[in-house]
């Protein structure tokens, strides 16, 4: 039921804020709309929405800063970043600050809704392995959506968790960026830099030395391969 999905929309353009909020409400979501970055920061100190839809350019406190705060306080909260320009640099910046997904303005409201639904499904664990498993130093608990390395839990965003889980379920297999976009993001097409940014962020969390990865390896011209053999 969508009535139990709480969406926080932070957007300073009053037209966009109204249109997005009304559209989602008509489809059964519980929606809170905020137009100021500072007010959103105060709300996020206590609120834990199921999805945060966040404009990058906000008065008071930027969307990038809010995204960083969310990642510190509530790393599992899915974040969709709204960008003004359909430029690779804009999207990479948003992803670097911890966003799980992005949309460039103008965007289709139906597409936004589909992305909200997809993130909620993943965050609530409706498409996960039914049992825990171990691969090398990695221990996966799909029920709690937690992954640890050598006994230490890794703080992962929703998308980072899905990416690492997919890699752990396919050890030794070379996965192209298109493979990862399709299986992890559910996209039949998309910007490959999205995967590149998330791989870099993931390496910073699981690799002893991210510049010289032991687990998440690059296969030049082909994609990525996850292995624990080199770490033995």
Q: For position 89, which CATH number holds? A: 3.40.50.2300
Mean pLDDT over 174-180 rounds to 92
97 in a domain, yes or no?
A: yes
**Structural domain boundaries, residue 206:** 133-226
Q: Do 89 and 186 reside in the same domain of the chain?
A: no
Q: Do 153 and 113 reside in the same domain of the chain?
A: no
Q: Do 42 and 67 reside in the same domain of the chain?
A: yes
b/e map 158-187, b = 16+ CB within 10 Å:
bbbbbbbbebbeeeeeebebebbbeebbbb
How is residue 145 written in tokens? 């959506």
199 in a domain, yes or no?
A: yes
Q: pLDDT for 197-206, tens place per residue?
A: 999 999 999 9
- Measured CA angle at 46 (ends 53, 102), to 5 deg: 15
Question: What pLDDT does residue 137 have?
Answer: 95
- Domain with 186 in it: what CATH number? 1.10.10.10
Q: Do 113 and 28 reside in the same domain of the chain?
A: yes
Q: pLDDT for 138-164, tens place per residue?
A: 999 988 889 999 999 999 988 899 899
Q: Do 14 and 113 reside in the same domain of the chain?
A: yes
Q: Rg for the chain (alpha carbons), in Å?
A: 18
Domain boundary among 82, 103, 123: 123
Q: Do 31 and 113 reside in the same domain of the chain?
A: yes
113 in a domain, yes or no?
A: yes
128 in a domain, yes or no?
A: no
Question: What pLDDT does residue 73 have?
Answer: 86
Q: Report whether 10 contacts 34 (CB < 8 A).
A: yes
Q: Do 113 and 157 reside in the same domain of the chain?
A: no
Domain boundary among 99, 123, 147: 123
Single pTM value for the model = 0.67
Q: pLDDT for 7-16, tens place per residue?
A: 999 999 999 9
Q: Do 198 and 222 reside in the same domain of the chain?
A: yes
b/e map 204-215, b = 16+ CB within 10 Å:
eebbeeeeebbb
């Amino acid at each position: 039921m969508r009535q139990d999905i709480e969406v926080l929309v932070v957007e300073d353009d009053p037209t966009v804020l109204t249109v997005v909020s009304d559209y989602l409400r008509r489809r059964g979501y519980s929606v809170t709309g905020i137009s100021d970055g500072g007010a959103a920061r105060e709300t996020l100190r206590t609120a834990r929405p199921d999805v945060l839809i966040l404009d990058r350019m906000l008065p008071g406190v930027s969307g990038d800063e809010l995204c960083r705060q969310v990642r510190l306080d509530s790393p599992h909260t899915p974040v969709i970043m709204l960008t003004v320009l359909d430029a690779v640099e804009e999207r990479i910046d948003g992803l670097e600050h911890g966003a799980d997904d992005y949309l460039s303005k103008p965007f289709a409201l139906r597409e936004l809704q589909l992305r909200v639904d997809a993130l909620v499904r993943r965050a609530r664990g409706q498409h996960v392995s039914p049992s825990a498993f171990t691969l090398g130093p990695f221990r996966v608990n799909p029920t709690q959506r937690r992954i640890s390395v050598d006994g230490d839990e890794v703080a992962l965003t929703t998308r980072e968790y899905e990416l690492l889980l997919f890699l752990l379920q396919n050890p030794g297999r070379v996965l192209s960026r298109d493979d990862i976009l399709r299986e992890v993001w559910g996209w039949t097409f998309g910007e490959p830099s999205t995967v590149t940014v998330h791989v870099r962020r993931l390496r910073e969390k699981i690799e002893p030395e991210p510049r010289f990865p032991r687990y998440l390896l690059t296969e030049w011209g082909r994609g990525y391969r996850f292995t624990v053999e080199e770490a033995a």
